Structure 1
Amino acid sequence: MLFYDLVNKKEKLAVIGLGYVGMPIAVAFGKKVDVIGFDLNEKKIDLYKSGIDPTNEVGNEAIKQSAVDFTSDETKLREAKFHIVAVPTPINLDKTPDLTPVEGASVIIGRNLTKGSIVVYESTVYPGVTEDICIPILEKESGLKCGVDFKVGYSPERINPGDKVHTLDKIIKIVSGIDNESLEEIAGVYELVIEAGVHKASSIKVAEAAKVVENSQRDINIAFMNELAMVFDRMNIDTKDVIEAMNTKWNALKFNPGLVGGHCIGVDPYYFLYEAEKLGYHSQIILSGRKINDGMGEFVANAIIKELIIANKVVKQSKVVIFGMTFKENCPDIRNSKVSDIILSLKEYGIEPVVVDPHADADEAFNQYGIQLADLTEIKDADCLVFAVAHNEFNNFKVDDISKLFKESPTEEKVIVDVKSILNKQDIKKLGYRYWSL
């Protein structure tokens, strides 16, 4: 069995795609078996070889101690028999799935595939992609026959970037295979590193569907809270106070309003919608939730403009400072960050906001969004402070720290927009600031 050959280090395991998902997987398996970590990004490979973790998922020390063979040479994949594909699956501008990365990975693996191999996809896809799109590519490029010369499985990634509690090993892993034999092999291999155990799905399509549905469920629940926040804003009711009261009931779901971005929740529902519409079903709930969440950046921007006007500020001349660019707190990932929607909306009013984020990579922010990140020490003479991401550095702000960032003007003309409700509202209002929270 391939499992025993891996454990006895007669065969190797390869991880294709070394981002926020693939790199922790490679490092975890590297403690148990011989691992080849492959990525086309040579700069990223050089960082890993130098012991630097740009994702902050496992830390520099874990990278330095890892025995993973990091490489951008695809021919090294010929040394492996068990392949894990962890490349991103984004969406196009028209919200349709962009399968280019997973198709490209399939081409690379296919032309380096050997008999007796198993290929497991972790990238989020709609039901049917693994069997209808990926397997044909593998067969074409390798000249081998799936089910005879090699096997395929699907095991959706469930890593939560930046989460140091629900780590890879503590999250139950869904596994599936093209047949019972491959299912058992794949389950056994993942059980080497997943302490929480595995769940054997009845088919690859079930495993694919489970991934897009679990994130769609979260998306819908957050959309409901976002809609409530917009209504409560008109009612002049504090949403946070309502949530705190509601959460005293034992079965409250404890969701909060906010910006829904990132590579999963803000993307996966569109994969599900795409396949459903191909089959003639037009979603009502999921699509409505997506529309609400996609509009939250503009809603926050409009709130900023409203508060500036009430504070007697000339909108176009106002200096707005946004704290946070990443899609979530204490994480360097800026993919699909909805903070960019706030920025774009403010620019429509002639405002060029200053953006501060100690976790985001300055080059990535500029390349992806055209945003030049500023250092916190450079911030002064602000008219409005927008706390968009709840990084620890921002959570620790004291009232005195905040007051130094504003320009000299009457306190009631100083605006604070607290998207994540990280500040003490009573303390801020007591000092006379204009304060708004989602």
Structure 2
Amino acid sequence: MTLYDQIINKETKLSVIGLGYVGMPIAVAFAKVADVIGFDNNESKIELYHQGIDPTKEVGDEAIKATTLEFTSDATRLKEALFHIVSVPTPINQDKTPNLNPVESATRTIGKNLSKGSIVVYESTVYPGVTEDVCIPILEAESGLKHGIDFAVGYSPERINPGDKVHTLENIIKIVSATTDEALEEISKVYELVIKAGVHRAPSIKVAEAAKVVENSQRDINIAFMNELALVFDRMGIDSKDVIDAMNTKWNALGFTPGLVGGHCIGVDPYYFVYEAENLGYHSQIIKSGREINDGMGEFIADKIIKGLIKTGKKVIEAKVVVLGLTFKENTPDTRNSKVGDILKRLAEYDIKPEIVDPWASETDALKEYGVTLSKYEDIQDADCVVLAVGHEAFKALSVEDIEALYNQKLANEERILVDIKSILDHEHFTSKGYTYWRL
């Protein structure tokens, strides 16, 4: 009997290690067709799941309450499973080099609880070679088992787009790979249980690892190009949104726009590619330059805010700045590597402490990661400058009257600074009324 048969007949279990924005959706999906153990070493997170609360807001509280998924922080429970999916974050260090500590730690945990006949599949984003050169030796050392004889390994990069309710886990083709043809077929069949869009069998693990890094690096480069144009157009006195609207009338325009590029994928993955390329003696030019441009956008936007305050006669240190949005993208509570943080850091150099509103962000995460206390939208008033930083649906729904009510009503319109990073507000309304309006 194959491992696939054992899983669908519920004669063994499947485990997911790491129950975050990526791990939780796939664990819940598999729990509909198999017995699944969801492991995370964050006990407070496990407790929330036990209470039926989804802190990621990816599947929702009701799905958490209804799932048969077994939540645990007890690593020994992994011995009950023969198919393991590793979905832990792979961040970068301060010097922009890969931080493999989470994936290495997860691998040690699995290795200590690995049984003969198991398959371990990594979903965490890494540079080509990590799965085979770093992870497999750890599994062997911790388990005392031999890869290729006692257990198999695969790689299937995650492709979940946090906050996206259209391109969901089930609707995105899954890349799968393995060290042997037999393991590849097993892994493919298991994933096909939940991936309606089907799977793509990559010829090797390194190809699959590279594909993940490249797909995010490609987006990063395209956005960097638009950001560079925005930097130049700003000096030319041209509205970049007007240029993009005109350009997009051509059928083959790519549709990219300038903006803040952070998060745990696009803002990180290119550095994994650059790191390994440099280890091999090649110094990246396009990818590294693109990342440097995108990393500098927060400071550029903050400087525009400062200049706006000065030009409208404000005493910068006394100005009241309101920032709408803190998460790294719209409609998700994920604040990791949010480039809004770069804006706040730059403003802090001028002793500006903005009031920050974000209906999605966790107050705990905001304080822990950025040292800020979130304010409630209804409490905001008397602003000198409003910065729309994240395109949450709640912010898109604001009327022009809602925005106007945030300002100090004693200010003349030309003294009211409005920075629309996402270019979603009514540009004509605010400029016609004389607001000091700027968009990226």
TM over 0.5: yes
Instruction: Give 4+ residue runs of structure 1 displaced > 2 Å after superposition.
Output: none
Map of 2:180 onto structure 1: 179
Map of 1:47 onto structure 2: 48
The 5 A counterparts of 1:188-337 are 188-337=189-338
Letter in 2 for 1:184: E
Map of 1:167 onto structure 2: 168
Map of 2:432 onto structure 1: 430
The 5 A counterparts of 1:411-422 are 411-422=413-424
CA distance in 2, matches of 1:234, 1:50: 53
CA distance in 2, matches of 1:399, 1:338: 26
CA positional deviation for 1:432: 1.6
CA distance in 2, matches of 1:306, 1:425: 20
Secondary structure of the structure 2 residue equivalent to 1:282: coil
CA distance in 1, matches of 2:301, 2:146: 53
CA distance in 2, matches of 1:261, 1:212: 15
CA positional deviation for 1:431: 1.7
CA positional deviation for 1:422: 1.2
Which of 394, 410, 415 lines up with 2:412 in the alignment? 410
- Deviations along 1:180-218, one digit per CA (max 9) or x if unpaired, are 000000000000000000000000000000000110000
CA distance in 2, matches of 1:303, 1:395: 22
- Deviations along 1:384-432, one digit per CA (max 9) or x if unpaired, are 0000000111111112111221112111100000000110100111222
Map of 1:369 onto structure 2: 370
Secondary structure of the structure 2 residue equivalent to 1:322: strand
CA distance in 1, matches of 2:54, 2:251: 40
CA distance in 2, matches of 1:357, 1:58: 20
Where does structure 2 lack aligned partners over 5 or more consecutive residues? Answer: none
CA positional deviation for 1:250: 1.1
1:125 aligns with 2:126: yes
Aligned residues: 438
CA distance in 1, matches of 2:431, 2:239: 13
CA distance in 1, matches of 2:195, 2:321: 45
CA distance in 2, matches of 1:370, 1:342: 13
CA distance in 2, matches of 1:371, 1:351: 12
1:65 aligns with 2:85: no
CA distance in 1, matches of 2:30, 2:56: 18
Letter in 1 for 2:229: L
**Percent identical residues:** 68
Secondary structure of the structure 1 residue equivalent to 2:37: strand
- Deviations along 1:282-321, one digit per CA (max 9) or x if unpaired, are 0000010000000000000011111111211111111110
Map of 2:154 onto structure 1: 153
Q: Is the 8 A contact 2:400 2:426 kept in 1?
A: no
Secondary structure of the structure 1 residue equivalent to 2:124: coil
Letter in 2 for 1:286: I
CA distance in 1, matches of 2:210, 2:351: 43
CA distance in 2, matches of 1:244, 1:410: 31
More off after superposition, 240-249 vs 416-425: 240-249
CA distance in 2, matches of 1:307, 1:390: 22
Map of 2:80 onto structure 1: 79
Secondary structure of the structure 2 residue equivalent to 1:18: coil
CA positional deviation for 1:162: 0.3
CA distance in 2, matches of 1:80, 1:28: 17
TM-score of the superposition, structure 2-length normalised?
0.99
Map of 2:355 onto structure 1: 354
CA positional deviation for 1:36: 0.2
Letter in 1 for 2:320: K
- Deviations along 1:129-182, one digit per CA (max 9) or x if unpaired, are 000000000000000000000000000000000000000000000000011000
CA positional deviation for 1:256: 0.6
Secondary structure of the structure 1 residue equivalent to 2:304: helix
- Deviations along 1:232-262, one digit per CA (max 9) or x if unpaired, are 1111111111111111111111001000000
Letter in 1 for 2:419: V
CA distance in 1, matches of 2:255, 2:249: 10
Letter in 2 for 1:120: V
Letter in 2 for 1:433: Y
Letter in 2 for 1:403: E
TM-score of the superposition, structure 1-length normalised?
0.99
Letter in 2 for 1:414: R
CA distance in 2, matches of 1:361, 1:106: 29
CA distance in 1, matches of 2:265, 2:85: 19
CA distance in 2, matches of 1:281, 1:409: 55
Letter in 2 for 1:425: H
